[in-house]
Amino acid sequence: MSGQLTIVGLGPGPAGWVTPAANAAVAAADVMLGYAPYLARLTPRAGQIFEASDNREELQRAVRALELASQGKRVVMVSGGDPGVFAMAAAVFEAVEKNPGLANDFDIRVEPGITAMLAAAARIGAPLGHDFCAISLSDNLKPWEVIERRLRLAAEADFVIALYNPASKARPNQIRHAFRILNSARKPETTVIFARAVGRDDEEIEVTTLKEAPDALCDMRTLVIVGSDATRSLRGNKGRIWVYTPRSARGK
């Protein structure tokens, strides 16, 4: 029997945001691999094996997935959000490249998912309504100078900026460095959104400004969106705050 490897995005959390295609891949799997909290969202059916791993072990997990699929297993590798955005799909293809021959006898598929910035944006309006970029602030895998350079150029380009992995216990201060850089290039009133645990029971969304942003609570489960010059806030029904970036842009 020929194996198969599907890298699946489970979205930010709620079942209502998991695509039917992702669910079908999960249902058909012999073995499920993934970071423990993502596997914990799923209920194994009889005969299905779950192999949880830690979140620093992405490359080992990817190689393990290739080995199991090459043995004829239907393997699903789960990611939160979308597997192609700062997640497992790139790790799997890196493992394919580093282990020539291991992935020659089975098909690989990627099932997209709702990535954190889309969910966060939907909750607060339409802040990504115009040109935007996504930057991971984690310097586990890239030097801080690269991050800093991209932040400066993104600010200069007046992109809306989605910041993934803004902070962790090991890196509590990077988001403050990032805000310092952005503060030097964007006006202090620029809208900033802190979207924490989107789609979960403890979801919390804070809208503030670049000037005030360094004081906001920010952790591993937070996605930060920094507006462009055009990003606007307005009050809706029952005083609710909406943030959106207009579809049109003026020249300088």
φ, ψ (nearest 5 deg) of residue 118: -70, -40
Least distance (Å) from a second copy to the CB of residue 28? 13
Amino acid, res. 148: E
Least distance (Å) from a second copy to the CB of residue 200? 15
Least distance (Å) from a second copy to the CB of residue 251? 4
Q: Residue 24 corresponds to which tokens in the numbers above?
A: 């079908």
Least distance (Å) from a second copy to the CB of residue 56? 12
- Pick the closer one to a second copy by CB: 123 or 211: 123
- Pick the closer one to a second copy by CB: 135 or 224: 135
> What is residue 37's three-state secondary structure?
helix
φ, ψ (nearest 5 deg) of residue 141: -120, 0
CB 38 within 8 A of CB 142: no
- Pick the closer one to a second copy by CB: 47 or 143: 143
Burial (CB count within 10 angstroms: exposed 0-12, middle 13-18, buried 19+), residue 247: exposed
CA distance 12 to 239: 26
> Can you list the alpha helix ranges (DSSP code H) found in 106-236?
116-124, 144-156, 174-185
Least distance (Å) from a second copy to the CB of residue 176? 19
Least distance (Å) from a second copy to the CB of residue 158? 8
CB 118 within 8 A of CB 9: no
- Pick the closer one to a second copy by CB: 47 or 101: 101
- Pick the closer one to a second copy by CB: 47 or 238: 238
Separation of first and last alpha carbons in the chain: 61
- Pick the closer one to a second copy by CB: 2 or 215: 2
